[in-house]
Amino acid sequence: MESGMGGEAEPQMPRFFVAVHVGAGYHAPSNEKALRSAMKRACLAAASILRKGPGGCVDAVAASIQVLEDDPSTNSGRGSNLTEDGNVECDASLMDGHSGVFGAVGAVPGVPNAIQIAALLVKEQMKGSSLLGRIPPMFLVGEGARIWAKSKGIALPETMIEADQWLVTPKAKAQWKHYKAMLLGAKAEIEISSDGNLCNAQQTASTQDSQAQTCETLEENRAGQSCMLSPLEEDSIMDTVGVLCVDTEGYIASGASSGGIALKVSGRVGLAAMYGSGCWASLKGPFGAPFIVGSCVTGAGEYLMKGFAARECCVSSSLSQAGPASACLKVLRSVVNDSSQSDTDKSAGILLVQADAPIRVPGNPPKLKAVEIAAAYSSLSFGIGYFGSAMEQPKVSILRSTKQQNRTGIDHFEARIDLSTENLL
């Protein structure tokens, strides 16, 4: 540490690290610029809080995800996938690694920023018991979550019509109409067949050109294996945006937010809201030893939820000597294998951040030293970005599949970022 003219140590900028993702699936090249911009702004939003010093991880995660929710190019908040009924219902969660406190909302309607409610649930739990010793809620769903948020002072649209004017974008509406027509066409085929009329996909294709690729195409799109039939080159993003933040003293928090899968059943709660599945953060390994790690998961929600994917990835990383990338690959392989056996969607992405133990000098607060970031994905693409205190600007990328050279069907990325470079005030 350098000294000033008077011999006293000059103050130094707090160290920090933030990582973000914008979902696994297929990201259209035409939308890449918008997604990269959103990730950069999300990184900078978190950094503006983390630069103030320790203790801001929860707020940093919430601020970063709010940027992604407000951007119509992501499947969270504004521009989310619509339910089968044509509405927006969002999921979100946030976890503080120091306390282990978790807050989440599921299938909440008419809320532009579901992560705000999740963050408030975390803070309310941190305060402890409320009036008459009532236990603060951890997980709220549906209209009840919306009512609770309003009672706590979160500004929300007065009516669902007003909310939809912001949340439902023309692109999402067009996608919904397209998928709805496909679904109705598929249902009609089943009904005709059940009445004893022989009707197969080839016959209907000659008379229903607009629905030429019904169930098969829908499954391919959901798996991120092909583009949609719209004249526009559109995205097919499975689920969830996510953010991980580490502050100058090594505290970590993670969060996730999502509009869910396209044409989902109303009331469906997805991966982004589920404990241990969409996000995880911890300062200790499974046996209590110090270990700073956090994870965000996106993709085929139901299968990832069954395996507590985010938590499992963090536990695997703490037990492994092979590094965070190996942990991500291990968990994702199990997901791909399970989904292959049942012939279901296997698109998924995992983002993991592991931090070195902070440097501790007597008389001084601990200082974050370095972090490792790893990503693994089985989809056609996975959008990620990261930013650290020693970096001049965020790095963002839409990772593209190289499955032609990869027999496992899984691609990955990893990097180590040294944060020990001091930036003087």
390: left (phi over 0), alpha (psi -120 to 50) or beta: alpha
> Residue 403 carries which DSSP code?
G
CA distance 421 to 285: 28
CA distance 136 to 200: 54
> What is the residue whose two structure tokens read 């941190």?
126
Can you say whether the dihedral through the CA atoms of 17, 350, 31, 112 is positive or negative?
Answer: negative
CA distance 192 to 211: 16
Quick check: is 240 catalytic? yes
| C-alpha R_g of the chain | 22
SS3 138: coil
Strand order in the sheet with 370-377: 279-284, 290-299, 348-355, 370-377, 411-418
Catalytic residue of the set 240, 298, 402, 408: 240
Q: Which residues pair with 313 in a beta bridge?
A: none
β pairing state of 17-26 and 279-284: unpaired
Active-site residues: which are they? 240
